[in-house]
Chain A
Amino acid sequence: MASSREASDARLPWTVGIVALLALVALALIVQARAGGERIVTAYLTFADTVGYQVPSATVPASVLAGGKVVRLPYAPRPLWAPSVASSPQRIATQITWFHLRVPRLTDDRQLYLYVPRWKSDGSLAIYADGRLIQQSHANLQWNGSNQPLWIALPHTTTSQPPRTLDIRLQHVRGIGGAFSSVWIGNYRELAPRYYLREFFQVRLTAFSSAAFLATGIFGFFVWLTRRNEPIYLLFFAMSVVCFLRMLHTFVGVHPLIVSDAWFGWITVNSLYCMIAVLHLFAARLHHAHQPRLTFLILANGAAWAIATLPGLLDPTLLAGLIYINILVQGLIVGLNGLRQSIKARSRFAMMLSVWCLVTLLAGVYDWSLQQNRVNIESVFLTNFTGVGFTLLFWYIMFRRYIEALQTATRAKADLARRLAQREAELTASHERLREIEHRELLHQERQRLMQDMHDGLGSTLVSALRAFESDRAGDLDAVAMLRGCIDDLKLTIDSMEPVETDLLLLLATLRFRLQPRLEASGLKLTWDAGEVPPLEWLDQRHALHILRILQEAFANILKHAAAREVAVSVRAEADRVLVRVQDDGCGFDPTRPATGRGLANQQRRAEAIGGTLHWEPSASGSCLVLVLPVEKPPLVIPRLGGP
Chain B
Amino acid sequence: MSIEATSPTPLKVVLVEDDVAFQEAFRTALVDAPDLSMVGVAATAAEARALLTGPAADVLVVDLGLPDGSGIDIIGEAHAHWPLCAIMVSTTFADERHVIASIEAGASGYLLKDSPLPTIVQDIRILHGGGSPISPRIARQVLMRFRPDERQAKAVETQGVEIPGSEGQDRSGVPNLSERETETLQLITRGFSFDEIAELMGVSRNTVLTFVRRIYAKLEVRSKTEAVFEARAHGLL
Contact = CB atoms under 8 A, between A and B. Distances in A.
A505 B189 contact: yes
Contact of A501 (B112, B158, B191, B193): B158
A512 B191 contact: yes
Contacts of B168: none
A516 B114 contact: no
A503 interface: yes
A580 B95 CA distance: 25
Contact of A487 (B114, B135, B140, B192): B114
Given A484-B114, A491-B93, A498 B137 contact: yes
Contacts of B192: 509, 528, 530
Contacts of A490: 93
B190 interface: yes
A503 to B, nearest CB: 7
B137 A510 contact: yes
A488 to B, nearest CB: 9
A365 B93 CA distance: 110
Contacts of A505: 189-191
A4 to B, nearest CB: 55
Contact of B137 (A484, A506, A508, A530): A506
Q: Categorize the interface residue count of chain B.
A: 20 to 34
A360 to B, nearest CB: 75
A461 to B, nearest CB: 15
Contacts of B135: 510, 513
Given A484-B114, A513-B135, A494 B95 contact: yes
Contacts of B175: none
Contacts of A513: 135-136, 191
Interface in A488-538: 490-491, 494-495, 498-499, 501, 503, 505-506, 508-510, 512-513, 516-517, 521, 528, 530
Nearest to B158: A499
A273 B116 CA distance: 115
Interface in B36-63: none
A506 B196 contact: no
B206 interface: no
A494 B137 CA distance: 12
Contact of A509 (B136, B158, B159): B136
A230 to B, nearest CB: 53
A487 B137 CA distance: 18
Contact of A495 (B137, B188, B190): B137
A496 B112 CA distance: 18
Nearest to B154: A501
Given A498-B96, A517-B119, A506 B193 contact: no
B204 interface: no
A528 B93 contact: no
A509 B93 contact: no
The 9 closest A-B pairs by CB, nearest first: A509-B191, A509-B136, A530-B190, A505-B190, A512-B191, A487-B114, A513-B135, A494-B93, A506-B189
25 contacts: A484-B114, A491-B93, A494-B93, A498-B159, A499-B158, A505-B190, A506-B189, A506-B190, A509-B136, A509-B189, A509-B190, A509-B192, A510-B137, A512-B136, A512-B191, A513-B136, A513-B191, A516-B193, A517-B112, A517-B115, A517-B116, A528-B192, A528-B193, A530-B191, A530-B192
